Chain A
């Protein structure tokens, strides 16, 4: 099973700042089958990024994903108030599919 470790657990930033979230895999993720989701309190997760770097429909361009192999990152170029949430990475190239433990981006 591929274990995904996200860091940091919590990121304390202000609106307008840049956020960089990390997701490290215990084994190489094939074909960059890595996604990022955003979850706000009381809501279902929302797909932001797939294929490590492709934005899902409706994802603002301030969100960008990068990485390959075992190291991936999600960058939010300038935080908007609505971006404060928990972010999860997920690998979907190997069975079982797994999620990281999440990074909370807080004010």
Chain B
């Protein structure tokens, strides 16, 4: 069974750094792109970027380029989303999800989400 299991909820202060994780199981982790999607409170979905774990090839949405870093450690089947300096506006639910196949495919499997709360 394909599963993406995300790290737990985080409460941070503005200016702090953070790295959240997404561990894949039940499939060949290195063979599928993994992406991150933001959902701000009460709002819709925003595509942030994707990574190919085998070679760490990464693509970002222009809205998130330079704001976050997506990485992966294929040895432990885990993808990451990190911030170097959090803002209050980063408060959101973050989902990882797997692309069906190539980069021109939708997300088929999703993690349960990681709630990030940033306050001053």
Cβ contact within 8 Å between B100 and A50? yes
Summarize B's interface: helix, strand, loop or mixed. loop
Chain B residues near A102 (CB, 8 Å)? 44-45
**Contacts of B106 on A, CB cut-off 8 Å?**
35, 37, 47, 50, 90, 92
One digit per residue, 1 when the CB lies within 8 angstroms of any chain A CB and 0 when it does not, for chain B 86-120 equals 00000000010100100111111011110000000
Contact code string A15-56 (vs B, CB < 8 Å = 1, else 0): 000000000000000010101010100001111001000001
- Size bin of chain B's contact surface: 20 to 34
Contact partners of A92 in chain B: CB under 8 A? 103-106
Contact A101 B44 (CB under 8 A): yes
The answer to whether the Cβ of A69 comes within 8 Å of any Cβ in the partner chain is no
Pick 9 A–B contacts, CB within 8 A, sort by A: A44-B97, A45-B37, A47-B108, A56-B108, A90-B45, A92-B105, A96-B47, A96-B62, A102-B45
